[in-house]
Amino acid sequence: MRWWDLPAVLLLEERMFPEDAWSPGMFWSELAHARGPFATRRYLVAVETDPADGTERIAGYAGLAAVDGTGDVQTIAVAPDREGHGLGARLLTELLVAASAFDCHEVLLEVRVDNSRAQRLYQRFGFEAIGVRRGYYQPAGVDALVMRRTSEEAAG
Ligand SMILES: CC(C)(COP(=O)(O)OP(=O)(O)OC[C@H]1O[C@@H](n2cnc3c(N)ncnc32)[C@H](O)[C@@H]1OP(=O)(O)O)[C@@H](O)C(=O)NCCC(=O)NCCS
pLDDT for residue 140? 87
The CATH number for 87's domain is 3.40.630.30
The Å distance, Cα 49 to ligand 1 centre, comes to 20
For ligand 1, what atom is nearest to the CA of residue 124? 35
Q: How many domains does the chain have?
A: 1
Nearest CA to ligand 1 atom 7: 88
Q: Whose CA is nearest to atom 15 of ligand 1?
A: 84
Closest ligand 1 atom to residue 112 Cα is: 48
Per-residue pLDDT, 154: 67
In angstroms, what is the span from residue 36 Cα to ligand 1's centroid? 32
DSSP 55: -
State the distance from the centre of ligand 1 to the C-alpha of 89, rounded, in angstroms.
Answer: 7
- The pLDDT score that the predictor gives to residue 156 is 61
CA–CA distance, 15 with 2 (Å, rounded to integer): 20
pTM for this prediction:
0.95
Q: How many CA atoms lie within 13 A of 148 on its CB side?
A: 10
Residue 105 confidence (pLDDT): 97
| Domain that includes residue 92, residue range | 3-155
- Check: CB of residue 31 under 8 Å from CB of residue 39: no
Q: Which residue's CA lies nearest to atom 23 of ligand 1?
A: 85
Judged by DSSP in three states, 94 sits in helix
* CA nearest ligand 1 atom 17, residue: 84
Q: What does each of the 156 residues of the chain score in pLDDT, given as a tens digit?
A: 999 999 999 999 999 999 889 999 999 999 999 999 999 999 999 999 988 999 999 999 999 999 999 999 999 999 999 999 999 999 999 999 999 999 999 999 999 999 999 999 999 999 999 999 999 998 889 999 999 999 877 666
